[in-house]
Amino acid sequence: MAIDIALGMIAIMLLAIPPAILHDRLLRHQYTHHRTAWEEDGCFSGLFWHVRGAVPSIQVEGFEPPKWGRTYWLWLFRTPSWVDEPPSCRRTLYAYRCATVVYTVVFFVAFVISVVSRAGV
C-alpha cells in the first residue's frame, strides 16, 4: 500500500512538470516580445525560467504562494491579447491549458480515491 501511494505521488509530481514548463515558455515569450505586458503582470519569473531582477517564483522565507500564481491561473481562463502574434504561442497556451486540466483532474481523482480508501467505503 505504501508503495502504491509513493508511486502515485511520483506520478502526480511528474504530471505537474509539463504545465510549469509551458507556463515558463509563455512567460519567456511575454518577457521577450511584450515586455510592457510582462511588467504589468508583475515581472514574474517562472518555476524553471528566471530573469535577473524579476520577482522570484518561490519565496524561501515563510510560506507564500508562488508569485507566478497570478498568471498561472489567469491564463487558464483568459487569453492574453499578446498571445495571438505567432501561432506557436497560441498552441503553447492551448497545450498549457490541457496539461493543467489533466494534472488537476488526476490530482483530484487521486485525492478522492485516497480519502475514500482510508474511510473504508
Mean pLDDT of 63-73: 63
Closest CA to 9 of 80, 90, 107, 78: 107
- Residues ≥6 apart with Cβ < 8 Å to 15: 99, 102, 103, 106, 107
| 115 vs 23, higher pLDDT | 23
The predicted structure's pLDDT at residue 62: 52
Mean pLDDT of all residues in the chain?
A: 81
| 69 vs 85, higher pLDDT | 85
Domain boundaries, the chain: 13-119
Closest CA to 18 of 46, 51, 56: 46
pLDDT at 70 over 80: no
| 99 vs 5, higher pLDDT | 99
Mean pLDDT of 70-74: 80
| Whole-prediction pTM | 0.79
The predicted structure's pLDDT at residue 95: 97
Q: How confident is the model at residue 39 (pLDDT cuts 50, 70, 90)?
A: confident
d(CA 95, CA 22): 7
Mean pLDDT of 74-101: 91
d(CA 33, CA 101): 27
